[in-house]
Amino acid sequence: MTEFELIQTYFTRPKPGLSRATLGVGDDCALLHPPRPGMQWAVSCDMLVAGQHFFEDVSPQLLGHKALAVNLSDLAACGAKPVAFFLALALPQADETFLQGFSTGLHALADEFECELLGGDTTRGPLNICITVMGEVPQGQALLRSGAQVGDDVYVSGKLGDASLALAALRGEPGVQLGAQALAELRPALEQPQPRVALGRALRGLVHSAIDISDGLLSDLGHLLQRSQVGARVQLDALPCSTHLRQQAPQLQQRCLLAGGDDYELLFTAAPSQAAAVQAAAHQTGVPVTRIGCAQAGLQIWDLQNQIPSTNFCGFDHFAG
């Protein structure tokens, strides 16, 4: 199979009725219509590498889903509506089983969010997936990391730590207490994250700051607070946590909640006066939202009784250590 047959077979699709492009896959560039009046583009780019971000033997369909999902999560964190994406793919060989599964998972999620594949690149090389995604957001209304204020409530969406608990189990880490059924229930958190696009859009105008949690709560909270030049007090026992994670030893539980990666939930801050509106947005979009603390002068993590040194935990960093 040649590179062009590969693109034609797996990555070229009928142009949707409401395409945002005058030209898509197949020329030197894609040509995009300007954003609608009053809108601006939000653009993000994520690269996934075999062995770093996923197991080599992961289901190709789930991998196709996840590769786009992590990018859509960045749009969600900005409150942007997905529009289009570009896919660059390095493959050890043109394995048709892989390509069939990968493209199926990718296109299914793209269709769900009406996000059109407009171009990209394929090449031979160690498995690597790079997606650049474009969304649109009304000018001046994007959610940013930088707006948190002292006194803000701090919230997260969904539950934290299930993805990293599943990863720990799949890696066979000692001390993980998880039966086969429980692991089956947790794997989708790791392998099929649901980008919180609807929630992000519903939070526009309500929140002071937002970020998506990809490298662990403490790490991404740190980024948000650093950008905002504030601190926060987070109540450990307030963190939304599955029953399976609650049953783990305290140390593992804390690590998954505070420093686990791959949550792809939204972390955001809002004035206390917006509490009802935030819960209404959560209700409207079907994504639970939990208040986990408040923004203050310095970063503190508290369990029921005691402050825990936040240096006990660090999120995932590809180059640290």
Residues 6+ apart with CB under 8 A from 188: none
Residue 211 in contact with a second copy, rule: CB under 8 A: yes
Cα-flanking dihedrals φ and ψ of residue 155, to 5°?
A: -125, 155
Q: How many CB atoms lie within 10 A of CB 223?
A: 15
Q: How many CA atoms lie within 13 A of 302 on its CB side?
A: 13
Residue 90 in contact with a second copy, rule: CB under 8 A: yes
Residue 235 CB, nearest distance to a second copy (Å)? 25
DSSP 8-state symbol, 14:
P
Residues 6+ apart with CB under 8 A from 295: 148, 149, 150, 151, 152, 153, 154, 225, 228, 230, 231, 232, 269
Closest CA to 163 of 210, 213, 128: 213
Residue 145 CB, nearest distance to a second copy (Å)? 5
| String marking each residue 2-41 x if it binds a second copy according to CB under 8 A | xxx-x---------------xx--xxxxxxxxxx---xxx
Site for a second copy in 107-166 (CB under 8 A): 118-126, 128, 130, 132, 134-135, 137, 142, 144-146
Among residues 11, 44, 65, 255, the one that binds a second copy under rule CB under 8 A: 44
Where does this chain touch a second copy (CB under 8 A) — which range of 9-17, 85-93, 272-280, 292-300?
A: 85-93
Among residues 94, 170, 198, 271, the one that binds a second copy under rule CB under 8 A: 94
Residue 316 CB, nearest distance to a second copy (Å)? 9
| CB-CB contact of 99 with 63 (8 Å) | no
Residue 177 in contact with a second copy, rule: CB under 8 A: no
Of 140 and 174, CB closest to a second copy: 140
